[in-house]
Amino acid sequence: RKEVEQDPGPFNVPEGATVAFNCTYSNSASQSFFWYRQDCRKEPKLLMSVYSSGNEDGRFTAQLNRASQYISLLIRDSKLSDSATYLCVVTGGNQGGKLIFGQGTELSVKP
């Protein structure tokens, strides 16, 4: 079983749609949680951190459920520019600070 598992993609949605990504992680000692965005043939870039209390950044909302070891990302009013691969990432515990990535979920927003 992979340490971090994400919804299989791709997600194809029209502009303006709301889309949700789900992720589960296996190491209960994980301490930090993130969503990264990766554009085609580019490096991953931090989108947002994820906190137990939930956090929002504009159209993006991230949630963490430690008991279920579950992380989510909600994108509202999706834009063409949101098209990318979204990577669920965890770190901490006995992982020495390194980031453990999920396989990524590809999002394609169509006009």
Partner 1 sequence: DTGVSQDPRHKITKRGQNVTFRCDPISEHNRLYWYRQTLGQGPEFLTYFQNEAQLEKSRLLSDRFSAERPKGSFSTLEIQRTEQGDSAMYLCASSLGDRPNYGYTFGSGTRLTVV
Residue numbers at the binding site for partner 1 (CB under 8 A): 4, 32, 34, 41-46, 49, 87, 91, 96-104
Shortest distance, CB of residue 6 to partner 1, whole angstroms? 8
Shortest Cβ 56–partner 1 spacing (Å): 16
9 vs 17, beta carbon nearer partner 1: 9
- Which lies closer to partner 1 via its Cβ, residue 28 or residue 43? 43
Distance between CA atoms of 83 and 81, rounded to whole angstroms?
5
Task: Please tell me the distance from the alpha carbon of residue 1 to that of residue 99, in angstroms, as a whole number.
Answer: 17
Q: What is the spatial order of strands in the sheet that 55-57 belongs to?
A: 4-6, 19-25, 70-75, 60-65, 55-57
CB 75 within 8 A of CB 14: no
Least Å from the CB of residue 67 to partner 1: 22
